[in-house]
Amino acid sequence: MPVSPPAHLDRNAEVKLACLRVGSAYYALNILEVREIIRPVPLIEIPRLPTSVDGVITLRRAVVPVVDLRRRFGVKSQGESRERIVICALQGRIIGLYVDEVSEVITLSRDEIQRAPYYMSDSEADFFPAVCRYRGRLIFLLDVQKILSSHEFLLPVPAVPQFSQTTEE
């Protein structure tokens, strides 16, 4: 069953998707959420990061948390030369997604995108709200907003020490 687009959008309206490969499976992100795609750089490990964050990188003086989708989805890294970090931006927040490959950008009509299968109903399935077929491949659409808002991703807020100003006389 096709996903029902919002009432103000035509069912035949097109959407551009960046296709990613993690292991042998293909995923896609709405191209509007992709800020850039970079070659891998070493991750900096920081104590007390949420378990879903593998480390951070610095990108033009910004500290960007990176989630290795291979580890997140339980896929072994094969050390491929096509690995990339996809920098995504959504609602003022930035995240890097470590993937095996960014293969292409495709354009589909909203009518070609379907709800995720019924058997994908656990909490991890929230990250894959829809699927589509393209050139014989099944592609799972990733919901970056769900990844960013998952309880495992939210960074703990450290207590800020309060210093009182006292003057000695």
* Domain coverage including residue 127: 14-149
Query: What is the reported pLDDT for 123?
Result: 59
Q: Is residue 67 part of a domain?
A: yes
Q: Is residue 161 part of a domain?
A: no
Beta-carbon contacts of residue 35 (< 8 Å; ≥ 6 apart): 87, 88, 89, 94
Query: In this predicted model, which residue has the larger pLDDT, 71 or 58?
Result: 58
Q: Is residue 144 part of a domain?
A: yes
pLDDT more than 90, % of the chain: 33
Q: What mean pLDDT value characterizes the chain? A: 78
Average pLDDT over residues 110-121: 75
Average pLDDT over residues 2-11: 48
Q: For the chain, how many structural domains are there in total?
A: 1
Q: Is residue 155 part of a domain?
A: no
Q: The pTM is what?
A: 0.76
- Comparing C-alpha atoms, which of 159, 150, 145 is closest to residue 50? 150
CATH number at residue 114: 2.40.50.180
Q: Is residue 139 part of a domain?
A: yes
